[in-house]
Amino acid sequence: MKVLGIESSCDETAASVVEHGRALSNIVASQHEVHARFGGVVPELASRRHVEVIIPVIEQALAQAKTSWEEIDAIAVTSAPGLLGALLVGISVAKSLALARNLPLIGVNHLEAHLNAPFLEQPDFPHPYVGLVVSGGHTSLYHVKDFGDYHLLGATRDDAAGEAFDKAAILLGLGYPGGPRIDALSKQGNARAFRFTKPKFSDSNFDFSFSGYKTAVRLLYQKAEETGLVDEKFKADLAASFQQALVDFLTERLMSAAQMLGAKGVVLSGGVAANRTLREQVKLEAEKNNFRFVVPAMNLCTDNAAMIAYVGEQYLKRGKRSDFSLGATANQEIGL
Ligand code: KG4
Ligand code: ZN
């Protein structure tokens, strides 16, 4: 069974062909250069760029997979959550193709796709596991008992972790997107140069909050500016300390949830899971606590269509499909 996946929920236009849970192709056209000068994603510009590139992206995905249209069995597309206009581009194209080729159409939740991305590389990963989806739009922790059986343990109450990375990077004058830039600069800084206060939650609460970290970066930067202390070393130290504080917070929450629920494994996914310090720290802690650990390869952590096609194929196997009334939904949590 070959499923074509299409993703256009934010600022990446992506297409992929997945067969038996394996990606045969993974094409991603990023729009970072379109939005960089605005310091964030401009929804209307995102939609327009999706319209321009989506057909070539799909053609490339088929070519890379050495697959003809006749071999495609279904079309999976991200239908929620995301930017409405951006989602609608992918959905409209997916519907048109499904109608023209008489193929089943499957609407996929982007969060469910991030949560299942690790299975593209490790199909035998055990359930139950605790999964952290940590991206530019979400920071959500789930208990996953089986495919499709998700329970939301906690989510961010303000900014998403990736958003905090992006905003801190702007404060430090690093530009957009901030996560990879803070990741790179942190390698030259002292991660213990500045201390951040961790938000307080009760032991049984797995919510997150990041706005305090962002405010702390702003205040530290302003103070240093006033006293003429801003130089390259200061910036690297502040970036490294901020990153370490977020990584400590995320790792601690993920591990304590896994321990409390007696999970077999821990999973990290979403754009921020591309962060090297986070990957290393969670891996180390998982080994210490005897949890199986999986984090997708970098190109499967950030937005991609392989994870969409993967979930689509799973649903198709279970006899689920969408009808042509499929629409875009801006906000849609899973596991509530
Ligand atoms: O999953 P994703 O591609 O899109 C959303 O669904 O949001 O995640 C994008 C986010 C951005 O905020 C970006 O700054 C962050 O992931 N990110 C990183 C790294 N690479 C991407 N954050 C920290 N370290 C990284 N290496
Ligand atoms: Zn995403």
Which positions ≥6 away from 53 have C-beta within 8 Å? 13, 29
**Residue 282 pLDDT:** 97
Phi, psi (deg, nearest 5) at residue 105: -115, 135
Q: Is the CB of 135 under 6 A from ligand 1?
A: yes
The pLDDT tens digits for 90-144 are: 999 999 999 999 999 999 999 999 999 999 999 999 999 999 999 988 999 999 9
Burial (CB < 10 A; 0-12, 13-18, 19+), residue 248, is middle
pTM score, two decimals? 0.92
CA of 302, nearest ligand number = 1
Mean predicted confidence (pLDDT) in 47-61: 96
Mutational test site, ligand 1, from 242, 302, 333, max ligand atoms within 8 Å of CB: 302
Query: What is the CA(303)–ligand 2 centre distance, in A?
Result: 5
The pLDDT tens digits for 279-303 are 999 999 999 999 999 999 989 999 9
Amino acid at position 13, single letter = T
From 133, 272, 300, mutation site for ligand 1 pocket: most ligand atoms within 8 A of C-beta: 272
For ligand 1, whether the C-beta of 81 sits within 6 Å is no
Rg (CA), the chain: 20
Tens digits of residue pLDDT in 162-215: 999 999 999 999 988 899 999 999 999 999 999 999 998 887 789 999 999 999
Are 202 and 150 in contact by the 8 Å Cβ rule? The answer is no
Look at 228 and 7; give whichever has higher pLDDT.
Answer: 7
CA 110 to ligand 2 center in whole angstroms? 6
Closest Cα to atom 1 of ligand 1: 271
With 0-12 / 13-18 / 19 or more C-beta atoms within 10 angstroms meaning exposed / middle / buried, residue 148 is middle
d(CA 31, CA 51): 12
Q: How many CB atoms sit inside 10 A of residue 319's CB?
A: 7
∠ Cα 314 147 250 (to 5°): 125
Neighbours of 111 (CB within 10 A): 26
303 in Cβ contact with 41 (< 8 Å): no
pLDDT for 39 equals 78
Rounded Cα gap, residues 141 and 145, in angstroms: 13
- 3-state SS assignment for residue 188: coil
What distance in angstroms lies between residue 270's CA and the mean position of ligand 2's atoms? 5
How far is residue 48's CA from residue 30's CA, in Å, rounded to a whole number?
Answer: 13
* CA gap 147, 170 in Å, rounded: 38
Give CA–CA dist 92/88, Å, rounded: 6
